[in-house]
C-alpha cells in the first residue's frame, strides 16, 4: 500500500523564490500547502498556479509559524515535508521520495534526515564541514514538531529516523546585503537566547528539543558540537571555529566565493553573536 505526502511551505514576499521552489516541489506526488504571513508582492499569484491550499497566519517567529501549520492545516498526508521558499527539491530527491512512498514505509521509521546543499552567490559550498548538513524536514504526520527557539531551530522527530543520500538545495541569499541583514538579525536572537540560557537554563522535560549526543544521529551530533563550541570563551571560539572550518576542513577549496561565505558565516557571524552577548552582559550589570 502506498503512502501519501503533504508539503508545507512558509512565505512572505517571496516572489523571487517561490516559483522555482514550487516548480521543483511539483516533481513530487504531493499536496502543497502555503502558509503566508501577509505578502504584498505577487507571491500568492504565483502560488495559485500550483495549489489552491493557501492559508494566512500572522508571523510571530519561525518555530511558532511552523508549529501552527502542523497543528492547524487540513493535512491529509501520511507524511509531511517542510520547505522554505528558498529551497529546491532536487530531481534525485523527488525520484527517491516518489519511490519510497509508492509502497509502505517501515512502521519503525517516523522521519527522514535530508541534507541541504548550500548555494551561495551561485556556487555550491561543498567543503568546510558545511556539506552534508542534515535536517529532519520530513516526518510522519503527528510525529514531528519544530523546536520552540528563536534561532537555529530544528524539527524534532519522535521515534527512529533514516538518513537519505539525496539533497534539498538551499539558496541562502540573493545578495550580500540581504545576507548581512538577515544574519545581523539572527545574531541578535542567538545572543539573547544564549544570555537567557546562562541566566536560567532551559530544562527540556518534554523532549521538545534536539538533544546533543556525540553518538546520535547527524542532527544530534551537530547540536553536541555546538554545545562544545559554546563552552569556549567569547571571541576565542570564532577564531578556533573558522580555523578548523577553513583550513582543517578544507573550506579554502571552495575558492574565492567560498572564502566570502566561510568568513562571513563561519567567523563574522559568530564573532557578531559574541559581541552582542558581551554588550548584553554589560547592560545587565548596570
Could you report the per-residue pLDDT of 119-173, keeping only the tens digit for each? 999 999 999 999 999 999 999 999 999 999 888 999 999 999 999 999 999 999 8
Q: What CATH number should be reported for the domain whose range is 5-171?
A: 3.90.550.10
Measure the CA–CA gap between 147 and 244, rounded to whole angstroms.
Answer: 28
Measure the CA–CA gap between 83 and 111, rounded to whole angstroms.
Answer: 15
Domain with CATH 3.90.550.10 in the chain: 5-171
Contact 183, 272 (CB under 8 A): yes
Burial of residue 178 (number of CB atoms within 10 Å: 0-12, 13-18, 19+): exposed
Q: What pLDDT, on a 0 to 100 scale, did the predictor assign at position 174? A: 82
Give the global pTM.
Answer: 0.94
Handedness of CA 278, 242, 224, 145 (dihedral sign): positive
**Cis amide leading into 132 (omega within 30):** yes
Q: What pLDDT, on a 0 to 100 scale, did the predictor assign at position 198? A: 84
Question: Cell triple for residue 252?
Answer: 579554502
Contacts of residue 148, Cβ cutoff 8 Å, sequence gap at least 6: 63, 64, 67, 208
pLDDT, one tens digit per residue, over 186-199 is: 999 999 999 998 87
What residues in the chain have per-residue pLDDT under 70? Answer: 1, 201-206
Burial of residue 102 (number of CB atoms within 10 Å: 0-12, 13-18, 19+): exposed
Contact 183, 271 (CB under 8 A): no
Q: What pLDDT, on a 0 to 100 scale, did the predictor assign at position 202? A: 59
The interaxial angle of helices 176-199 and 269-285, nearest 10 deg, is 40
Amino acid at each position: 500500500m502506498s503512502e501519501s505526502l503533504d508539503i508545507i511551505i512558509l512565505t512572505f514576499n517571496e516572489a523571487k523564490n517561490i516559483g522555482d521552489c514550487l516548480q521543483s516541489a511539483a516533481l513530487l506526488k504531493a499536496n502543497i500547502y502555503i502558509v503566508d504571513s501577509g505578502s504584498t508582492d505577487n507571491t500568492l499569484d504565483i502560488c495559485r498556479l500550483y495549489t489552491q491550499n493557501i492559508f494566512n497566519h500572522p508571523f510571530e517567529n519561525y518555530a511558532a509559524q511552523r508549529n501552527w501549520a502542523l497543528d492547524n492545516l487540513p493535512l491529509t498526508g501520511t507524511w509531511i515535508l517542510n520547505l522554505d521558499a528558498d529551497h529546491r527539491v532536487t530531481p534525485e530527491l523527488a525520484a527517491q521520495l516518489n519511490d519510497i512512498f509508492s509502497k509502505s514505509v517501515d512502521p519503525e521509521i517516523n522521519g527522514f534526515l535530508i541534507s541541504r546543499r548550500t548555494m551561495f552567490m551561485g556556487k555550491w559550498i561543498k567543503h568546510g564541514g558545511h556539506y552534508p548538513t542534515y535536517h529532519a524536514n520530513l516526518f510522519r504526520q503527528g510525529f514531528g514538531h519544530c523546536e520552540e527557539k528563536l534561532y537555529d531551530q530544528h524539527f524534532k522527530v519522535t521515534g527512529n529516523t533514516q538518513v537519505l543520500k539525496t539533497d534539498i538545495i538551499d539558496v541562502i541569499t540573493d545578495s550580500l546585503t540581504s545576507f548581512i541583514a538577515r544574519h545581523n538579525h539572527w545574531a541578535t536572537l542567538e545572543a539573547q537566547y544564549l544570555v537567557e540560557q546562562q541566566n536560567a537554563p532551559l530544562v527540556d522535560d518534554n523532549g521538545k528539543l534536539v538533544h546533543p549526543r556525540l553518538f546520535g544521529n547527524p542532527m544530534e551530533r551537530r547540536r553536541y558540537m555546538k554545545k562544545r563550541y559554546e563552552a569556549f570563551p567569547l571571541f576565542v571560539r570564532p577564531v578556533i571555529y573558522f580555523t578548523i572550518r577553513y583550513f582543517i576542513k578544507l573550506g579554502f577549496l571552495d575558492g574565492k566565493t567560498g572564502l566570502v561565505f566561510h568568513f562571513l558565516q563561519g567567523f563574522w557571524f559568530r564573532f557578531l553573536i559574541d559581541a552582542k552577548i558581551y554588550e548584553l552582559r554589560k547592560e545587565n550589570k548596570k
